[in-house]
Structure 1
Amino acid sequence: MAFSPLRISVRRRQPELVAPSFPTPRELKRLSDIDDQEGLRFQIPIIQIYRHNPAMAGRNPAAVVRDALARALVFYYPFAGRLREGSGKKLFVDCTGEGVLFIEAEADVKLEDFGDALQPPFPCLEELLFNVDGSSAVLNTPLLLIQVTLLSCGGFIFAIRLNHTMSDAPGFMQLMTAVGELARGLPSPSVIPVWRRELLEAHPTPTPSFPHREYEQVPDTEGTIIPLDDMAHRSFFFGPREISTLRSSLPPQLRRSSSTFDILTAFLWRSRTVALQTSDPNENFRIICIVNIRGRFNPPLPSGYYGNAFALPVSVATAGELCNRLWLTQWS
């Protein structure tokens, strides 16, 4: 049977700015050196899907989210500001209190109409997260764009576009948790946000004690570096049975000590290397993973820190090591 892509019709109200529900400080707040690096100066889309909840009968989810968002912005007021660039390309948040972009919409589709497509790459994303003219630049634009789309089944899709310089995934989920708590009637978030971006400023005279191979400029020797826009995007789900099968193929001494993350990462790294069929067994292949660094300092970052707080450690192995061993017994 030929695949028929899903088509939906979305009716959107005019975009509006949602400002903090109470006055907030007008100040200039400096981002950390992790926040404002070039690689994070982009907008990232996020999709959250909610089934119909009979307990919400008679309530408009978009209105509930809008009200809770306004109250959350009192605590997270930098999100209601605008990003500015200073000398040396240093980024600051101008806490203007202007607000974030919000769109209420309706779609003539039920959640089940999406079928198995509820996974990245998400269908109809451009309809469910409308790009408001003039809002997509990193500087001098709203730091959040939110579209709540009500579905004909009573469920809704909560789509967000986040300026990545403001938060990583744990930091942003902290904000979203606060919105949910305020929507349920709490007077304030259970975790009070903490700015403290100066804690992740680089030392004036950095003195690295070992090579940082994650920042190496890697030559594309045999076409092994594939542009992102030339890749097929697919989602694969590994449940308990699949993980158990992979784990059973490990050497006995590694079966208990290897986490699910270790297993999936190593097998994907090896499988990709095998698929590329490089002719040079000594060619280096890297894998980089994001690591949350909130608890890795002494003392750790304060609870409530919602800025970007991650590192990108790299492991390196040759094609021969990866293709000729079932499992790497040691990470580089």
Structure 2
Amino acid sequence: MVSINGAATFKVSRKTPELIRPAKPTPHELRILSDIDDQDGLRFQMPLVLIYRHNPSMVGRDPARVIRDAVAKALVFYYPFAGRLREFATRKLVVECTGEGVLFVEADADATLLQLGTLLPPIQNLRELLYDVPSAAGVVDCPLMLIQVTRLLCGGFVVAWRLCHTMSDAAGILQFFTAVGELACGAARPSVLPVWERHILCARYPPHVTMRHPEHDIVIDTKRTNIPHDRTMRHFFFGPTEISTLRQSLPPHLHNCSKFQIVAACMWRCRTIATFSHPSEDVRLLCVVNIRKRLNPPLPEGYYGNAIVYPAAVTTAEELLKNPLHYAVELVKKAIHEATDEYVKSVVDLMVLRGRPNLTGARTYLVSYAKGFEEVDVGWGKPAYGGVARGGVDSFPRAVSYFMPFKNSKGEDGIMAPICLPPKAMDVLVDELQKVLLGRSSIASAL
């Protein structure tokens, strides 16, 4: 085997892909998606990964069979996942609940968990761990989920799956896979039953936009910046020491900011310095916000559709860089706070009035906090890694970083922030992070 970025290349032997249908008959019906679900920016397949260690108490049990059976049982409750998307007039997406099923691939790898390399995104050898079925790569008229279970030589295994983001956000798919885990462990039904109710997040009649939504502004990238292909990803750990240092630099009224807000603001500012934005041009930070409890009334428990918005912090590159960190933190806090019930209704109406637009791309950095997947137990205990398969997307014009909870080698809990940049820009970002932390270098140590 040849070592590549701390991982070993390996071969995977796959069985023929099959369709997992619901374990019991389910209704054949049409189910409308919300106007949040079918926006342009969510019409793609997202890969996620759960990696499990060998568990001596599970010897003799086949993880592929256990998960296959549990998915079939879960699809009885979540039967729209077994259907297919259809596109109607005005690009409106609807699920036809056909019961055709989700794709499932059973595989074996000639590698151990240790040979997978560092268990952080981007997961090495993802092409081996998640089969790319050409006919299932789109959104309309194809399976809405693909799952591959790969057994490892050490007794561990990998569950990699790709889902249509149009159907669910991270919280929704976590709810589904938590149900799979419960059913795999012997439960008769999920502890949280799924709720559809997508009409709650459909546009008012008549639709009317009542607030500013700079996250959907049409921005021309006048410089036609092109990020080179020779990009590198590094991971930055913000533990108790780093968070405390950053928090102490803030004025008293910002000391109650969340860790996510502080880290997001810090990475936004450092990334802007590293990418050399023109001083007079606007730069944006978009934060993915779960709005389940922000609506009035809140969304019902069990809602597994997309319930996210992307409030934007906007300023010029000059203002962001000449001001201390607390300026960026203030902007981030304000943007997240503005994601109110009226804000959500306004952005839903905007989707209908403007043809379901994508997010602004130029000079935009989007951050999300993907957590909860590290708790999914399918019978072998908590995963060694659970979360996104890639740490983000940093191809021009928009960059995305998926933050995640992480425990370092000292046992300290913190936030891991992956970011992808060209080498020279990465060097600038690392240097700036060190300056922010008054010379501390631990934050800039790639794992």
TM-score interval w.r.t. the shorter chain? over 0.9
The answer for the alignment partner of 1:306 in structure 2 is 304
What code does the residue aligned with 1:67 have?
A: D
The answer for the alignment partner of 2:33 in structure 1 is 31
Stretch deviating more after TM superposition (270-279 or 76-85): 270-279
Shift of 1:138: 1.0
Shift of 1:104: 0.7
Alignment of 1:142-291 (within 5 A): 142-222=143-223, 231-254=231-254, 256-280=255-279, 282-291=280-289
Q: Where does the alignment leave 5 or more consecutive residues of structure 2 unmatched?
A: 335-447
Shift of 1:239: 2.1
* Residues 200-254 of structure 1: per-residue CA shift (max 9 Å, x gap): 101132222222111111222445x556967533333322222223223333443
Shift of 1:270: 1.1
* Residues 141-171 of structure 1: per-residue CA shift (max 9 Å, x gap): 1111000001111111000000111100000
Change (3 A) 1:65 1:3: closer
Rounded Cα–Cα distance in structure 2 between residues aligned with 1:3 and 1:131: 23
Rounded Cα–Cα distance in structure 2 between residues aligned with 1:130 and 1:228: 28
Structure 1 stretches of 4+ moved >6 Å: none
Rounded Cα–Cα distance in structure 1 between residues aligned with 2:130 and 2:228: 21
Contact 2:149 2:157 in 1 (8 A): yes
Aligned equivalent of 1:295, options 293, 308, 314: 293
Rounded Cα–Cα distance in structure 2 between residues aligned with 1:167 and 1:226: 31
- Any idea what SS the aligned residue of 2:206 has? coil
* Identity among equivalent pairs (%): 54
Rounded Cα–Cα distance in structure 2 between residues aligned with 1:232 and 1:102: 32
* Residues 25-58 of structure 1: per-residue CA shift (max 9 Å, x gap): 0101111111111111111111111111111111
Stretch deviating more after TM superposition (256-265 or 321-330): 321-330
Stretch deviating more after TM superposition (134-143 or 214-223): 214-223
The answer for the alignment partner of 2:365 in structure 1 is none
- What is the TM-score of this pair, normalised by structure 2? 0.70
Shift of 1:14: 1.0
- What is the TM-score of this pair, normalised by structure 1? 0.93
Contact 1:222 1:278 in 2 (8 A): no
What code does the residue aligned with 2:238 have?
A: F
Q: Where does the alignment leave 5 or more consecutive residues of structure 1 unmatched?
A: none
What code does the residue aligned with 1:29 have?
A: R
What code does the residue aligned with 1:235 have?
A: H
- Any idea what SS the aligned residue of 1:236 has? strand
- Any idea what SS the aligned residue of 1:134 has? helix
* Residues 171-211 of structure 1: per-residue CA shift (max 9 Å, x gap): 00000010000011110000010111111101132222222
The answer for the alignment partner of 1:62 in structure 2 is 64
Change (3 A) 1:299 1:278: closer
Contact 2:3 2:9 in 1 (8 A): no
The answer for the alignment partner of 1:123 in structure 2 is 124
- Any idea what SS the aligned residue of 1:286 has? strand
Shift of 1:72: 0.4
Rounded Cα–Cα distance in structure 1 between residues aligned with 2:28 and 2:150: 32
Rounded Cα–Cα distance in structure 1 between residues aligned with 2:228 and 2:212: 27
CA RMSD of aligned residues (A): 1.9
Aligned residues: 327
Stretch deviating more after TM superposition (211-220 or 175-184): 211-220
What code does the residue aligned with 1:297 have?
A: L
Stretch deviating more after TM superposition (205-214 or 305-314): 205-214
Rounded Cα–Cα distance in structure 2 between residues aligned with 1:310 and 1:297: 11
Shift of 1:3: 6.2
- Any idea what SS the aligned residue of 2:123 has? coil
Rounded Cα–Cα distance in structure 2 between residues aligned with 1:71 and 1:228: 46
